[in-house]
Structure 1
């Protein structure tokens, strides 16, 4: 959603002019579709970047405790205290305090769904409870992925991620200096002028473009279709989790994403092992947590108890420092670790993907990472709002103000070729591109009333 403010040089070929017009029109349509979603993603993403800070301030009453000199209570005591406030519930996960002033978070399955209980690890006092569906960061996460609108809404977000990359590429082409004196690194005019909003949109998008494309690409592994195909590639090429660790381990047929409360991208498709020393008495939660501590898991790890007699205790942590990411499956009878896997054990594709995800979530490089991703989200919002204002100022009354068609149809061959390339890389986005071009060329251009409205 840009604007031609710099005249194309007189010597430029007709094909160059037509190419500019075609990409401008394509950029406009893609922006018109994607901008509302991009603003939603940027706003919710900005909030999620500071989830720990929000928990430690707005929700400090349930997340922050006073440090004590004495040792924390055993996890089983904390479970008993929480169960007393949630009768009839079943423990589904225990999250170790992440530091001396952090509470323990216990997940329980109830008739109404999963409930989080927050317990002071020193006194056993229950600080509060909240349904997982109502927990602030969970609400933000579901808005970010459109999970509230059903399983197929995630595919809309996936398509919009591809559109974001298309907007960056096409936007850079339109922004590229063509002998104009402004609108490249400076903003001309005042907010009352269309040129001000055009330049704000173009300059912001150009300078933040690479980071915007990174956010879109690094968010795709969590998507249903594209992310699923990436998992298949990692598994088929041996560049995901080290499947050989399960060669001599009996598995249940379940996958980690369906059993564990918290699981990373690499591990979500890994099989769940089974306990096999069933003649012995179960070790219990306290011993399972102790084993995870003894094996050096980073603070804040979460333990999922076995769901049945063949299940295992699964301890997992995905901290800010990827090097400390770890998953351990423990035999519930012998206490022996069946599988112990860290980030260093991941294949090359998984390590690269997890690094991208960690940076995307603002975790890998501390506050600097958070601020860089926040600046990118703010750039998305500013560029999107500027695009909308610019369009409204340029749009003729009663019409959409769509950029003009190319004068020659030769350029459409290049457009279809680009659509095919993007369709291969981002299939859902590619389908929308094909539909967009087809409707524009075969419907809008051929029907006179529509041609006028969209002019």
Structure 2
């Protein structure tokens, strides 16, 4: 009787936990791959979030100047000072129009070997404050670690895979945490510090995970559109569905190309309004897109947009930098933007304004001879997908609502690094010798059709992940499966 009673009482428990080990096994595989990358993403992402605070501390003598009551020197004078400090074969490619009166003027030059260097000039005195390598400055190295592990395309694909597998880790983690039997909401959401040993680490891991799950999901979904493989395909698909970049940014009609009024001039030169983008001289330069320009970052919606060309009128003198900056200010963009200088007789002045508020994003192309606005792309011109990505990017980078956004992003990022640490401790405490330590396979696992359908769907939406999912499944059935059955 005691045996029969025990079997009857054990049956509900067994049914209640059916599928638990299967979920745990997949959670283990996902975490095994993701956790090292998650630590790197957490640390580099937190540092990048605080770029506005970190860089002035690292380079105060280059970036920071004493504000003065006297007017600043003209942009052309400052550019000439910067040019004099560089080798004769260096080409000025970008002017960074400062956002605050205590910031130096920055000009980016491309050297003969292809390297880019920033030159910093005091806007009040014209004193050259120093230079910095664009590629090797601290925040840029941090950003490249975050995006591609400093490994180029292979690193970029690895980070994309890590982001996709994080979705598996989140899904299985939530399923494992889901309260079973008589577990109360308090037990599920509040750490139980009275526990000891591995039970305490498991409880901390589960509670931290459920509080961080939504933030981790938001990080993944807002970061994937910028990935090198899936992100590009997603952008192309959104564009074909008229939900991505505005039509004008892809070579169609110009957007907002007519300036207010009927005529304007810069230093006595008339500015003609360009209302027809199909003129042969207005076609985009072959292969040149916004992401090819020397810009630190551009709005997602216009990254692959072809750059238009100036009418190649070599008889006319190209406009100096100062009047162009004044024109941009008259169009409503006064400071805090990057201005790419024309690199050829048919090149254009390109304005990339990428502020904290996505609705203020702006991309302008100006004819270098007449100052005509060739294209003026604004947030309102974006498709629905691009608008959503713009907001997601601002939140992801900790820029949308100031310091509070930075702190929130840092808390989520460092919390995820803590999840990696607690997961490693749990594995270490239960690890078997000379074995991977994957949870044993269930002898009578339920069909779990919903879970399998979800994995298949993820594999279809993210093909690169689908290939690795299949590889892990085959390895689990052949290599790790034998060890699991022996352990069980």
Superposition TM-score, scaled by structure 2 size: 0.86
After the TM superposition, list the runs of 4 or more consecutive aligned residues in structure 1 that deviate by more than 6 angstroms: none
How far has the Cα of 1:382 moved from its partner? 1.1
SS in 2 for 1:94: strand
- Matches for 1:283-432 after TM superposition, within 5 Å: 283-408=319-444, 411=447, 416-432=452-468
Larger mean Cα displacement after TM superposition, 405-414 or 220-229: 405-414
How far has the Cα of 1:24 moved from its partner? 0.6
SS in 2 for 1:271: coil
Whole-Å Cα distance in 1 between the matches of residues 120 and 196 of structure 2? 51
Whole-Å Cα distance in 1 between the matches of residues 300 and 12 of structure 2? 49
Deviations 1:369-418 (A, max 9, x none): 11111110011011110110111012133333211102136537665433
2:72 maps to: 72
Whole-Å Cα distance in 2 between the matches of residues 144 and 366 of structure 1? 21
How far has the Cα of 1:280 moved from its partner? 2.4
Whole-Å Cα distance in 1 between the matches of residues 196 and 79 of structure 2? 61
How far has the Cα of 1:186 moved from its partner? 2.5
Q: 1:236 to 1:167 in 2, by over 3 A?
A: same
Give 1:175's match in structure 2, choosing from 168, 174, 177: 177
Q: Does 1:218 align with 2:251?
A: no
1:129 maps to: 131
SS in 1 for 2:303: coil
1:107 maps to: 108
1:89 maps to: 90
Larger mean Cα displacement after TM superposition, 53-62 or 197-206: 53-62
Larger mean Cα displacement after TM superposition, 407-416 or 206-215: 407-416
1:3 maps to: none
How far has the Cα of 1:451 moved from its partner? 6.0
SS in 1 for 2:366: strand
Give 1:201's match in structure 2, choosing from 199, 205, 215: 205
Equivalent residues of 1:256, 1:267 under 8 A apart: yes
Q: 1:189 to 1:157 in 2, by over 3 A?
A: same
Give 1:265's match in structure 2, choosing from 285, 288, 300: 300
Whole-Å Cα distance in 1 between the matches of residues 175 and 452 of structure 2? 17
Q: 1:128 to 1:162 in 2, by over 3 A?
A: same
Whole-Å Cα distance in 2 between the matches of residues 98 and 145 of structure 1? 26
Deviations 1:327-359 (A, max 9, x none): 110001111110011112211110101110110
Residue ranges of structure 2 left out of the alignment (5+ in a row): 1-8, 253-276
Q: 1:298 to 1:325 in 2, by over 3 A?
A: farther
Q: 1:298 to 1:385 in 2, by over 3 A?
A: farther
Equivalent residues of 1:189, 1:195 under 8 A apart: no
Aligned length: 444
2:264 maps to: none
2:5 maps to: none
Whole-Å Cα distance in 2 between the matches of residues 193 and 299 of structure 1? 56
Deviations 1:167-202 (A, max 9, x none): 111101101111236751232347961112111111
Q: 1:277 to 1:90 in 2, by over 3 A?
A: closer
How far has the Cα of 1:425 moved from its partner? 2.3
2:477 maps to: 441
Q: 1:192 to 1:16 in 2, by over 3 A?
A: closer
Q: Does 1:236 align with 2:272?
A: no
Equivalent residues of 2:19, 2:445 under 8 A apart: no
How far has the Cα of 1:82 moved from its partner? 1.7
Q: Does 1:276 align with 2:311?
A: yes
SS in 1 for 2:190: coil
How far has the Cα of 1:259 moved from its partner? 2.3
Whole-Å Cα distance in 2 between the matches of residues 408 and 433 of structure 1? 22
